[in-house]
């Protein structure tokens, strides 16, 4: 086998459909763009939800209720088996977890979850622990220390 013998697999390559090549080509006359109007023009693109100037549906329907998503606590999860990278007797907190690469991104705190086996005796400082993670850490003679969450800036009542 040489480079000049290589070919794509059968059916992998298709010819581009040539538009506007007469009526019997199947893509003649309007070239698949329908009739006249805004979408028939070249360079035309209409944003999603635009209804030609009519008030869009998403703005017509009433908005009700309260969405709690802005006020939820978002924990960054770390499984118990991931803590085996540390030496026996080490103190593990958020800064150490970030340094090793077990915690990335933005969140309100770190939560230790109980998936996997823990083989080391560790002092773990985190914002939350699952019941199984606490049992595994304390079962090996380690300590679970709760750290208080970062306080949020209070928003005025008008916002």
Tell me, yes or no, if the pTM score tops 0.75: no
Query: Mean pLDDT over residues 76-88, rounded?
Result: 94
* Phi, psi at 131, each rounded to 5°: -60, -40
The domain limits of the chain are 75-146
pLDDT tens-digit readout, 9-47: 999 999 988 999 999 888 999 999 998 998 899 998 899
Q: Can you give the pLDDT at residue 8? A: 95
CA 43 → CA 13, 35, 39, 58, distances in Å?
Answer: 28, 16, 9, 26
In whole numbers, what is the pLDDT of the chain averaged over residues?
90
The count of C-alpha atoms lying within 13 angstroms of the C-alpha of 40, restricted to the half-sphere facing its C-beta, is 8
CATH label, 75-146, candidates 3.100.10.10, 3.40.1050.10, 3.30.365.10, 3.30.70.20 = 3.100.10.10
């Amino acid at each position: 086998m040489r480079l000049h013998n290589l070919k794509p697999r059968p059916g992998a390559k298709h010819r581009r459909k040539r538009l506007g090549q007469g009526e019997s080509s199947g893509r003649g006359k309007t070239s698949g763009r329908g009739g006249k109007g805004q979408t028939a023009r070249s360079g035309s693109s209409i944003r999603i939800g635009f209804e030609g100037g009519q008030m869009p549906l998403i703005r017509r329907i009433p908005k009700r209720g309260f969405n709690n998503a802005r006020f939820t606590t978002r924990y960054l999860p770390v499984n118990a088996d991931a803590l085996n990278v540390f030496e026996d007797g080490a103190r593990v907190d958020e800064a150490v977890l970030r340094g090793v690469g077990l915690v990335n991104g933005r969140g309100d705190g770190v939560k230790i979850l109980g998936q996997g086996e823990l083989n080391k005796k560790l002092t773990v400082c985190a914002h939350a622990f699952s019941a199984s993670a606490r049992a595994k850490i304390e079962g090996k003679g380690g300590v679970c220390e709760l750290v208080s969450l970062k306080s949020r800036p209070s928003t005025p009542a008008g916002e």
